[in-house]
Structure 1
Amino acid sequence: MADFSEYAGPSAEWLAVEAALPAPPKDLSIEQLKALLNKGREESAAQDMIDQGLSSVVQMHDHTVTARDGTLLEARTYRPAGVPISERLPVYLHLHGGGFLFGTLASEDATCSRIVDSRNKNGTPIVVFNINYRHTPEHRYPAAWDDVEDAFVWLHEHIAEIGGISEQVVVGGISAGGWLTASLALSQLRGEDKRLAACPKIAGQVLMIPCLVQWDHYAPRQEMLKSPELSSYVQCAQAPILPVDRMKLFSALLGISDAKDAAENLRMNPGNATAEEVKNLPPTTFGIAGNDPLRDEGLFYGKHLAENGVPTKVHVFRGVPHGFRRYGDKLPGSKKWDEVMSEGISWALSKPAPVPFFIHSD
């Protein structure tokens, strides 16, 4: 029986950061909160591009992806400076986080550029493809899922245009983006969408602080805990950044609970996939926050994949909450976060063999 409570914290480093944080805004409408946080995320990304010298190491190009209903979606590629389009590179498809409510194209510039930046790593150069899928409350389920699948197909149809290699596409995401990543990988494997099935198999997936199951349809693996009180839903119910109440808000805005087949629908709940359904998934890297309500579903899914022959690497950041990376150099785990993402991409492309389930933690 499992007990992951040792990772919860909070850590001393996090407590020092938390003490200096301003009080969160109150009495804002969903629309006001969305505008405020998106503005802050874009400003932070723009500052990181300057402070970390990222603008000089990447070349960016904007694209337009047409979704299945005719909607035009923003997309952007990030390529190592000086590497021409004629030189084909592996591709990382990036899906941002934000509870399906927050996030813009520009809010991801620094994250995507850090992945491309070769100054601090020796891995294979790559091009990052960033898609701005649609968000709530304007667009409910399955808009984001449809957009990501359409972007994946578009990417393969335009692979020469962005200078990529079709057989070396790794997909990854943060939080809600991790959910979309896991859903995409399973959908392609099941072959129900002929467009996805016709594309080369995803070479790997990187799941950072992922949500993998809808609140009302948690996987039966939760019962593998030593005690219900050890659940991260209980231990981390009031955790910073993503308390359970905010999780429920995000879920309500999606409207998933209205679907009759939600529990059985793996597009909605990839974390509930059976052993047979996951056994041929690509190499998978997990980055999981210890003081996060989503901790257990990430760890259980990682264990599930490893036990069914999927090459799997799991890293837990002890004592920090969901989304801690936004605080940058104030937390030592931020550098490791970047390493886990970049190394996860390179590791997947190396075609690793399956290994026993093991949790790495800092």
Structure 2
Amino acid sequence: MAQYDSIEEVTALATMHPEFAQPLQDQTITIPMRDAYGNEARVFKPQIRSASRAPLVALVYGGGLMSGTNLQFAPIARAIAAELGAVVVTLSHRLAPECKFPQQSEDIWDNVQWLSQNAHTIGADPSAAFVLGGGSAGANLCAVTAHRAAREKLSPPLTGLWTAIPVFLAEQTAPLKNRPLHISLSQNADAPGFNTETVRFCLSTYGPDISSEATTPFNAMDTFPQMVPTYIQVAELDPLRDDGLVYARALRDHRVPTRVDVSPGVPHGFHVTFPNFDISQKFNRDTVAGFRWLLGLAAGQGGSQDDFSLEFAISSA
């Protein structure tokens, strides 16, 4: 048994446990907006890669457009970087009520444009793959940005989109044939934690123009045929559930490759509020599997640490 009375024994105590060590780099950068404001972003990437062309993933947090930080998706970012070998950037935008519509949408567009031209500075190659994704209000910002990217021919283009528990105002703006299928606002009006009243409060604070393409992708129907493969996650007890399902139907109507996962019997944001629940862990594993699909990777392909623990990465913020 060690007595810890030699310099060698004491020095060895600073060796990091292999289950705790993650082969990732984590850095903070500032991305300039059109008005010279600097939005902070965090970059997560593997230290060692088997290939030089690292795909790029950009993530946008939720929070009703009034709260949230770029650390919200840090656990998922770490998992995607370690498991799939991507460079992952968690983006920021300015918040309501200090900044109202369409500032948040413009900020994400400026972030994405900057990444398309400067990704090489963080070791990523968007021409290999360029996936944009977010949760809740962040999913809205990502979807309207993806449709704008199609219209304005972003180069290199986006190659995939992830929308988790998204808000799209499908009750008012979706194609008429799909509106009868949007019942979740009334069905889940009194859902625990996040209900229909909460949805309306967030929208009133943000102040969107309901007719604008910066508010919902359903105001840009002509861009649907140009949309990229999309992965959508919804929760059964969420008043926003049918926003995601109606969006999926609209994408499929235009033959866009679309994948949907529904979490049964749980409310909006359950995976954040109750991260240790089994269904929350499944949601997070599904998320990483969805990104594997969006990046075009087969099982077993990706980063340098095949046995990376998703449970550890996702539950540690």
1:115 corresponds to: 80
Query: Deviation digits for residues 219-248 of structure 1, max 9, x if unmatched?
Result: 5345333xxxx7101111111222111111
1:68 corresponds to: 34
2:66 corresponds to: 101
* Aligned equivalents of 2:279, 2:228: Cα separation in 1: 26
* Aligned equivalents of 2:201, 2:243: Cα separation in 1: 19
Give 2:287's aligned amino acid.
M
* Aligned equivalents of 1:237, 1:224: Cα separation in 2: 17
Task: Output aligned runs, 1:147-186, within 5 Å.
Answer: 147-167=107-127, 168-186=129-147
Q: 1:82 and 2:29 equivalent?
A: no
Question: Closer, same or farther in 2 for the Cα pair 1:236/1:75, shift >3 Å?
Answer: same
- TM (normalized to structure 1)? 0.72
Q: CA deviation at 1:171?
A: 0.4
Q: 1:201 and 2:157 equivalent?
A: yes
Q: CA deviation at 1:279?
A: 1.3
Q: CA deviation at 1:214?
A: 7.5
Question: Closer, same or farther in 2 for the Cα pair 1:104/1:223, shift >3 Å?
Answer: closer
* Aligned equivalents of 1:289, 1:56: Cα separation in 2: 31
1:266 corresponds to: 213
Question: Closer, same or farther in 2 for the Cα pair 1:156/1:243, shift >3 Å?
Answer: same
Q: Is the 8 A contact 2:234 2:262 kept in 1?
A: yes
- TM (normalized to structure 2)? 0.81
* Aligned equivalents of 1:174, 1:71: Cα separation in 2: 24
Greater radius of gyration (CA): 2
Give 1:148's aligned amino acid.
I
Q: Is the 8 A contact 1:233 1:293 kept in 2?
A: yes
Q: CA deviation at 1:215?
A: 7.1
Q: 1:304 and 2:250 equivalent?
A: yes
Question: Closer, same or farther in 2 for the Cα pair 1:325/1:141, shift >3 Å?
Answer: same
Question: Closer, same or farther in 2 for the Cα pair 1:218/1:156, shift >3 Å?
Answer: closer
Q: CA deviation at 1:216?
A: 5.9
Q: Is the 8 A contact 1:214 1:251 kept in 2?
A: no
The runs of 5 or more residues in structure 1 that have no matched partner are 1-51, 119-123, 192-196, 353-362
Query: Deviation digits for residues 193-237 of structure 1, max 9, x if unmatched?
Result: xxxx24222100011001112776565345333xxxx71011111
Task: Output aligned runs, 1:219-238, within 5 Å.
Answer: 220-225=176-181, 231-238=183-190
* Aligned equivalents of 1:57, 1:102: Cα separation in 2: 30
Question: Closer, same or farther in 2 for the Cα pair 1:216/1:300, shift >3 Å?
Answer: closer
1:210 corresponds to: 166
Q: Is the 8 A contact 1:115 1:341 kept in 2?
A: no
**Root mean square deviation, CA, Å:** 2.4
Query: Deviation digits for residues 89-126 of structure 1, max 9, x if unmatched?
Result: 101100111110111133332232122232xxxxx411
Please give the secondary structure, in 1, of the residue aligned with 2:249.
helix
1:337 corresponds to: 283
* Aligned equivalents of 2:108, 2:279: Cα separation in 1: 29
* Aligned equivalents of 1:53, 1:134: Cα separation in 2: 36
* Aligned equivalents of 1:158, 1:54: Cα separation in 2: 32
The runs of 5 or more residues in structure 2 that have no matched partner are 1-17, 299-317
* Aligned equivalents of 2:57, 2:170: Cα separation in 1: 26
Q: CA deviation at 1:82?
A: 3.4
Question: Closer, same or farther in 2 for the Cα pair 1:53/1:301, shift >3 Å?
Answer: farther
Question: Closer, same or farther in 2 for the Cα pair 1:66/1:53, shift >3 Å?
Answer: farther
* Aligned equivalents of 2:297, 2:256: Cα separation in 1: 11
* Aligned equivalents of 2:297, 2:166: Cα separation in 1: 23
* Aligned equivalents of 1:204, 1:73: Cα separation in 2: 23
Give 1:125's aligned amino acid.
G
Please give the secondary structure, in 1, of the residue aligned with 2:157.
coil
Question: Closer, same or farther in 2 for the Cα pair 1:335/1:212, shift >3 Å?
Answer: same
Q: Write out the 4+ residue segments of structure 1 that deviate beyond 4 Å after TM superposition.
A: 52-55, 214-219
Please give the secondary structure, in 1, of the residue aligned with 2:168.
coil
Q: 1:253 and 2:214 equivalent?
A: no
Q: 1:240 and 2:192 equivalent?
A: yes
* Aligned equivalents of 1:244, 1:328: Cα separation in 2: 20
Question: Closer, same or farther in 2 for the Cα pair 1:307/1:217, shift >3 Å?
Answer: closer
